[in-house]
Structure 1
Amino acid sequence: MNVAPVVLQTARARVELLPALGGSVVRFTWDGRDVLRPAPAGTREVLDTGNFALVPFCNRIRDGRFSFGGHDVALAPNLGDHPHALHGQAWRGAWTVVSASETEAVLAFDHAPGEWPWAWRAEQRFVLGDHGLRQDLTVTNTGAEPMPVGLGFHPYFPARDGERLQAGVTGVWLIDDDCLPTTRVEGLWRSDWAAGAPTAVSELIDNCYTGWNGVATLSAPGGASTTLTASPDCRWLHVYSPPGADFVCAEPVANRPDPFNGQDSGIKVLAPGETASVWMNVSSS
């Protein structure tokens, strides 16, 4: 695997991308501070990186199975012995570099029909500027049949001492032992993210929060704050905070987990040649 990074840089910020490792962000610093969790040197595991794209669906599909458009789809597990397929195909694949300059890069991933029986092309555009790192994710249906699509991002943020997350959410999906959604609850449940709450937890949080207003802020005493904003199509914020972890994930997503079971899941249907897009901006202040 060619592990040469693509580097974007300004006077204040530096971003390193690894196209061959899921098109991931392996480091993003602002004024020398790690805004995203830095990946270990030489890593070959995308789950150790700072951010990767979710395409053509976000989170889990129950047992990797669903039916759509006359296809009975069966996706193989892609996270060890966990039985439920996660995050699509591109995060475990190699992306190609379409273009790269000092402050902007475009990566692409082409998928041929297989277990996922539709052809598609995804592109990520990274732009590093005065207002942070902007990441646009698009997917185009390059096949001859309508295709279901959900897009999102999976950023990991360093969990500093006293780290708090504030996000404008109004409800949450409760989960079972396999982290699949069971019941939607309106209002406060455990951590009050809307008011701001510590990211350090004693019980696992791996939940999809509803009613998100597209803004989330991470802050710690005496340190700079990180602000995440995302496009309106990212109606859900998925928070992943394991007990004792040195990171917290706040993931803007356009579909909720297990999106082929239940209504109002966020899944779109793309006609042949049609494109869907989402964006995310991460800034430090």
Structure 2
Amino acid sequence: MVAIEKGGACLVLAPEVGGAVAAFTVGGRHVLRPMGAGAVDALLTASFPLVPFCNRIPNGQFVSDGRTVVLPPNLQGHPHPLHGQGWRAPWTVESAEGGVAVLAFDHVPGDWPWSYRAEQAFELRETGFRVTLTVINTGEEVMPAGLGFHPYFPARPGERLTAFNDGVWLIDADVLPTVRHEGAWGPDWAAGAPVAGHALIDHCYTGWNQRAVLSAPGQPDTVITASADCAWLHIYVPPGEGYYCVEPCASRPNPFGEGETGMMALRPGERRSIWMEIATG
């Protein structure tokens, strides 16, 4: 692990566990859910990158530029591979000093038949941090690319989430998007709603304006902002687990499905970047 500090803020990174954030504290208070001791799975960390696609690909099969690709499952007991390769691989530390750290991951073609380099640049501030996620096509063919972030927040009593959106993708039993519902469905995040007290929420919201606020009585707000092309906000609230995820994404679940999904075609040498900031009062 590697840690960077600035003022009362501390950001701990776990490059060996999917290039994840292990902890982020301000004044000793955990703003993100801390990574469990001895954890070796990115799902147990504070935050991890989604590269080069977000969420699930149905049965791992898709067609890109006339080429059929089939990816194996990467989550035990689940047939639909998700979140790309970065979260299941170790990253290297390129630098870590002066409140700034850079991690990198180089993918060698395999089931995902394109080579790419992914980089995360972390910039720590006294009350927050920004992470910029970049993917670079290092191969000789056009590569599809989508990016996102998967931060975990500790559940606080009475917490509410406010995040503008204009609709939501409803899901089936396999958590795959089925149809887009216009307007509010379930908790009205656009107006601000309690996070707890619902059945499973694992939904992608559309029309997000790149700002979300988690507020709890008597505690500082947590503010999540992101770059303009993060037009989707994925919200995951597993009942009774003591945490939830508010995920800025530049592509949506089923990224090779019909309609606008946010996936881009990168020519050899081209890159795509997004950023996320998490700050607290």
Q: TM-score range by the shorter chain?
A: over 0.9
What's the counterpart of residue 57 of structure 2? 61
What's the counterpart of residue 144 of structure 2? 148
Select 2:258's aligned residue among 236, 259, 262. Answer: 262
Question: Residues of 2 paired with 1:176 and 1:82: CA distance?
Answer: 14
Q: Indicate whether 1:80 and 2:76 are aligned.
A: yes
Question: Residues of 1 paired with 2:16 and 2:74: CA distance?
Answer: 17
Q: Indicate whether 1:92 and 2:96 are aligned.
A: no
Question: Residues of 2 paired with 1:275 and 1:268: CA distance?
Answer: 10
Question: Residues of 2 paired with 1:32 and 1:10: CA distance?
Answer: 12
Return the offset for 1:201: 3.0
User: Would you say the 8 A contact 1:58–1:253 is kept in 2?
Assistant: yes
Question: What SS does the aligned partner of 1:17 have?
Answer: strand
What's the counterpart of residue 160 of structure 1? 156
What's the counterpart of residue 30 of structure 2? 34
Question: Residues of 1 paired with 2:198 and 2:118: CA distance?
Answer: 38
Q: Indicate whether 1:179 and 2:175 are aligned.
A: yes
Question: What SS does the aligned partner of 1:63 have?
Answer: helix
Return the offset for 1:131: 5.0
Question: Residues of 1 paired with 2:231 and 2:212: CA distance?
Answer: 13
Moved more, 146-155 or 98-107: 98-107
TM-score scaled to structure 1, two decimals? 0.97
What's the counterpart of residue 241 of structure 1? 237
Question: Residues of 2 paired with 1:71 and 1:265: CA distance?
Answer: 18
Residue ranges of structure 1 left out of the alignment (5+ in a row): none
1:3-39 per-residue CA deviation (whole Å, 9 max, x = no partner) reads: xx11011121001001110010010001111110001
Return the offset for 1:261: 1.2
Question: What SS does the aligned partner of 1:91 have?
Answer: helix
Q: Indicate whether 1:116 and 2:112 are aligned.
A: yes
Question: Residues of 2 paired with 1:64 and 1:201: CA distance?
Answer: 33
One-letter code aligned to 1:251: E
1:232-284 per-residue CA deviation (whole Å, 9 max, x = no partner) reads: 11100000001112111000001110011111010000000000000000000
Question: Residues of 2 paired with 1:182 and 1:21: CA distance?
Answer: 32
TM-score scaled to structure 2, two decimals? 0.98
Structure 1 runs, 4 residues or longer, greater than 4 Å off:
none
Question: Residues of 1 paired with 2:99 and 2:130: CA distance?
Answer: 11
Select 2:194's aligned residue among 191, 195, 198. Answer: 198
Question: Residues of 2 paired with 1:75 and 1:53: CA distance?
Answer: 19
Question: What SS does the aligned partner of 2:230 have?
Answer: coil
Moved more, 36-45 or 50-59: 36-45
Residue ranges of structure 2 left out of the alignment (5+ in a row): none
The correspondence of residues 215-234 of structure 1 with structure 2, limited to 5 A, is 215-234=211-230
1:65-97 per-residue CA deviation (whole Å, 9 max, x = no partner) reads: 001123211111011010000000010000001
Of all paired residues, the percent bearing the same amino acid is 57
User: Would you say the 8 A contact 1:162–1:220 is kept in 2?
Assistant: yes
Select 2:4's aligned residue among 2, 5, 8. Answer: 8
Question: Residues of 1 paired with 2:76 and 2:159: CA distance?
Answer: 30
Return the offset for 1:102: 3.3
Question: What SS does the aligned partner of 2:131 have?
Answer: strand
